[in-house]
Amino acid sequence: MKQYPFLDLALANAPYMDELKAAACEVIERGRYLHSTQTELLEQEIAALCHVKHCIGVSNGLDALRLILRAYKELGMLNDGDEVIVPANTYVATVLAVSDNGLTPVLCEPREDTMNMDSRLLEGLITSRTRAVMPVHLYGTPCWDPTLMQVAREHGLLIIEDNAQAIGAASDTAGLNGTFVTGGLGNAAGNSFYPTKNLGALGDSGAVTTNDDDLANCVRALANYGSDRRYHNLYLGYNCRLDEIQAAMLCVKLRHLQEENDTRSAIARTYDESISNPRVKTPVILEGMKQIWHQYVVRVDDREAFRAHLADNGVGSDIHYATPPHRQPCYRELSQLDLPLTEQLAAEVVSLPIAAPTTIDDARSIADIINRF
Ligand SMILES: *Cc1c(COP(=O)(O)O)cnc(C)c1O
């Protein structure tokens, strides 16, 4: 029986093996493993992709978000105990970045259709302590609209994008800087290059993108022991650097990102057109949004039976995410919150294969299998 793995990173990277090996060898031979040309090149290319002035390569996506919030504290724009609104329906890392900085996460329910944070609910969550909002472009779908911007403007909130799943996506509503690409819409953005992301390294890495000169300088210093120049420590910093080998791998992968995203779009279109089982709800994308299909997520009532049917027919699947942050043991203090839509989604979502090596033909076959459920 033909197998349709949910994800196989070795196969996904196989087409670029020669380029990756050559790039790794170059770094090894050059002998500069940190703070060098590949990191600079990657930073320039990511900044250009996101239409921002600054990109700072860092250790991973969670650190990118932590550094942004910490930098805003150093710059006096956030203080201990301030409230930051985050989507309830997200990966836990979004919320961890807030808690880690002594800030208070305030959870916002998603929209039924896009599963992204519902900006119409923001106004009702604002208190005298609210200082920032962190939209997450979940599954590669931009979470950005005029309501979000208006609420942020009226209440003087910082907008920090969690762009971990959406590098290269675009909104039809311009961001604060008049541009449309995610990672450049708000005041700052955290990006992740975790191996399974659309732009994936061969290990951990991430980046902060922003147009704010002061924030960029502060993040860069914080990520390097808090030092703004050699042996001068302005802040109580961290070591959150991106290394040259990962940067070199990402420069290779970046050359193919557009083509990879186009393939994902074609697969998503095939699923949309071919899945006709009334028990399976396909994703809703609002008009004008350019989404990059980090995940293709369907919803089913009887998830266990559905996944068993997929597995019986050789189709891998996954769940993003089965347990929402407020149900995690580390967030006991949030466990009493009433977030029915978040919990319903957590019980119904199933991610189908969309990453390489999945092909359009595979998507047709998988849709047929789904229609027989
Ligand atoms: C992957 C991810 C992160 C964290 O990125 P890492 O590089 O794994 O630290 C944060 N937020 C979201 C929404 C993610 O999907």
Sheet holding 188-192, edge to edge: 54-58, 206-210, 188-192, 158-162, 130-133, 83-87, 104-108
- Position in ligand 1 atom list of the atom nearest CA 91: 13
Q: How many helices and strands, by DSSP H and E, does the chain display?
A: 12, 11
Angle at 142 between CA 140 and CA 146, to 5 degrees: 175
Ligand 1 centroid vs 1 CA: distance in angstroms?
Answer: 34
Q: Give this prediction's pTM.
A: 0.97
Ligand 1 site-directed mutation target among 138, 162, 191, 192, most atoms within 8 Å of CB:
192
Strands (E), 70-187: 83-87, 104-108, 130-133, 158-162
Ligand 1 centroid vs 191 CA: distance in angstroms?
Answer: 8
pLDDT digits (tens, 9 = 90+) for 145-197: 999 999 999 999 999 999 999 999 999 999 999 999 999 999 999 999 999 99
Distance spanning both ends of the chain, measured CA to CA:
18
Q: Whose CA is nearest to atom 14 of ligand 1?
A: 164
pLDDT at 69: 98
Q: Are 307 and 299 in contact (CB under 8 A)?
A: no
- Position in ligand 1 atom list of the atom nearest CA 60: 7
Query: And the tokens for 331?
Result: 């967030």
What gap in Å lies between CA 323 and CA 61, rounded to an integer?
A: 20
Query: And the tokens for 195?
Result: 């191996």
Ligand 1 site-directed mutation target among 86, 94, 205, 240, most atoms within 8 Å of CB:
94
- For residue 127, give the amino acid letter: T
- Position in ligand 1 atom list of the atom nearest CA 194: 7
- For residue 85, give the amino acid letter: I
Instruction: Split the chain (373 residues) into runs of 10 and give each run's mean pLDDT.
Output: 95 97 98 96 98 98 98 98 98 98 98 97 98 98 97 98 97 97 98 98 98 98 96 97 98 97 97 98 91 97 97 98 97 96 98 95 98 97
Q: In sequence order, what are the residues at sequence separation of 6 or more whose Cβ sits closer than 8 angstroms to the Cβ of residue 361?
A: none
pLDDT at 288: 86
- Position in ligand 1 atom list of the atom nearest CA 63: 9
Q: List all residues whose CB is within 6 A of at least one atom of ligand 1.
A: 60-62, 90-91, 93-94, 136, 162, 164-165, 192, 194, 204, 206
Ligand 1 centroid vs 332 CA: distance in angstroms?
Answer: 22
- Position in ligand 1 atom list of the atom nearest CA 192: 7
pLDDT at 285: 85
Ligand 1 centroid vs 163 CA: distance in angstroms?
Answer: 8
3-state percent helix, strand, coil for the chain, nearest multiple of 5: 40, 15, 40
pLDDT at 221: 98
Ligand 1 centroid vs 192 CA: distance in angstroms?
Answer: 6
Query: And the tokens for 44?
Result: 């320039």
pLDDT at 297: 98
Ligand 1 centroid vs 58 CA: distance in angstroms?
Answer: 13
Environment class of 330 (CB within 10 Å of its CB; exposed 0-12, middle 13-18, buried 19+):
exposed
What gap in Å lies between CA 140 and CA 146, rounded to an integer?
A: 19
Ligand 1 centroid vs 368 CA: distance in angstroms?
Answer: 32
- Position in ligand 1 atom list of the atom nearest CA 97: 10
